[in-house]
Amino acid sequence: MKIVKEKENIIQVTPENFKAEVLECDKPVLVIFYAAWDQPCRMQQAELDTIADKHPDIKVCKLDVEEYPAFAQQYGIMMIPTTIAFKDGKKHKRATGLRRAGVLLSMVQ
């Protein structure tokens, strides 16, 4: 199994920095709620890397549901990976399961 290396242009968010990184961001934000052990989450990483590399106008963030289960519950996360698009500090669209980069991009447009 290939291990996907973390990109530095994907922000790891926590309950402490979520407001500043996501809700107060002046550009669209994609947040993936994931677990490091989950294979679909690991596969989703390549699509997120593509977006982060090719679309500097979109902020890409990740939140580990294993580390912050109560926070993930606040956003109704029942399945991983779940991606939520935020615009102007508000939830805009949501997708569960493994999604291609094009689908994720359409969520913030």
Q: 53 in a domain, yes or no?
A: yes
Backbone angles phi, psi at 106, to 5 degrees: -65, -20
The rounded average pLDDT for each run of 10 residues, N- to C-terminus, in the chain (109 residues) is 54 97 97 96 94 95 97 96 97 96 94
Residue pair 93/41 in contact (Cβ under 8 Å)? The answer is no
Q: 2 in a domain, yes or no?
A: no
CATH at 28: 3.40.30.10
Give the chain's domain count: 1
What is the structure's pLDDT at 1? 36
Eight-class DSSP state of 23: I
Q: 47 in a domain, yes or no?
A: yes
Domain of residue 28, residue span:
10-107
What is the structure's pLDDT at 9? 81
What is the structure's pLDDT at 2? 39
Q: 5 in a domain, yes or no?
A: no
